[in-house]
Amino acid sequence: MNRLVALWLVCAALPAAAQDARKSGFAFMGPDTQAMQTDDLANPGMLFVLEGDALWKAPVGASQKSCASCHGDAPQTMKGVAARYPDFDEATQAPIDLAGRIIQCRAERQGAAPPQREGHELLALTSYVAHQSRDLAIAPAQDARLASARAQGAALYSTRMGQLNFSCAQCHDDNAGGHLGAAPIPQAHPTGYPLYRLEWQALGSLQRRFRNCLSGMRAEPISAGSADAIALELFLMDRATGMKLETPAVRP
């Protein structure tokens, strides 16, 4: 009898679970790559996180302030930040991504040379900050001023581009789970950035991933930090609301 009740409870709970068909790219990987991500000692992205930890505490620039001088202990103060970004930047009155915020802090508040997009220093700091949100649910910033950029990202996602004339949605919504040659097509949820991609043999940003896809489509790339790139990130993070962050993820 108790078993029947238990079975009924499981069945009653199923439709709720079945409604969310979203899967992280993690679910599309082989067990070896999954194990590499989940074991911090094997995850190559953790080397960047460790480096980010050192950078966080090191005084830089004219101010000789470190990130920690203002923000204190990252595991507490940065918890949930990456789950919220991109956010609205009051200074520029425009959306800003996490990497952009770090560049801004470095240049304007610490008086240091602004780190380069996709450069080692910025990737290490971004992955360190994002790592503080690992296992937290993505919870996009609720700021009405982000709505138009989010809509712009949604439009970009379903616009055909390049000589091959694909849209993001045609592969990652309509054909997710299929194979492009050998490669499984994931659902394009940005749950683990910056992440270590085995194909790159490096840590890279979501915006680097955009470049990869677009060059495959023979389309003009979206440059890192551009309004288009941040709009697309806003849309994708919104689409992944509630999914857990994995930074630093590992992908094939």
Partner 1 sequence: MWRAFALLAVLMSVDAQAQTLVPYQIENGAIATSLTGQPGDPAKGRTIVVERQKGLCLLCHSGPFPEERFQGDLAPSLAGTGSRLSEGEIRLRMVDSTKVNEKTIMPPYYKMDGLGRVAASYKAKTLLEPQEIEDVIAFLVSLKDEAQK
The residues that are catalytic are: 213
Query: Closer to partner 1 at the Cβ: 38 or 158?
Result: 158
- Which residue, 126 or 152, has its beta carbon nearer to partner 1? 152
In 3D space, the residue among 98, 74, 117, 78 whose CA is nearest the CA of residue 224 turns out to be: 117
Distance CA(167)–CA(54), nearest Å, equals: 40
In angstroms, give the least distance from the CB of 181 to partner 1.
Answer: 5
Tokens of 189: 């949820």
Instruction: State the nearest-atom distance from the C-beta of 211 to partner 1, in Å.
Output: 11
CB of 163 to partner 1, least distance (A): 4
Do you find a cis peptide bond into 86, omega within 30 degrees of 0? yes
Nearest to 35 by CA among 26, 48, 23, 24: 26
State in angstroms the smallest separation of the CB of 134 from partner 1. 33
If one counts every other C-beta atom within 10 angstroms of the C-beta of residue 116, the result is 12
**216 contacts: CB under 8 Å, gap ≥ 6:** 164
C-beta closer to partner 1: residue 121 or 228:
228
- Widest CA span in the chain: 72
CB 70 within 8 A of CB 61: no
Given a contact cutoff of 8 angstroms between Cβ atoms, the answer to whether 145 and 88 are in contact is: yes
Residue 217: CB minimum distance to partner 1, A: 8
Q: Which of 220, 207, 173 shows the shortest CA–CA distance to 85? A: 207
Residue ranges that bind partner 1, judged by CB under 8 A: 159-166, 170-171, 174-175, 178-182, 185, 214-215, 218-221
| Nearest to partner 1 of 221, 252 (CB atom) | 221
Q: Considering beta carbons, is residue 3 or 179 the nearer one to partner 1?
A: 179
**250 bridge partner residues:** 196
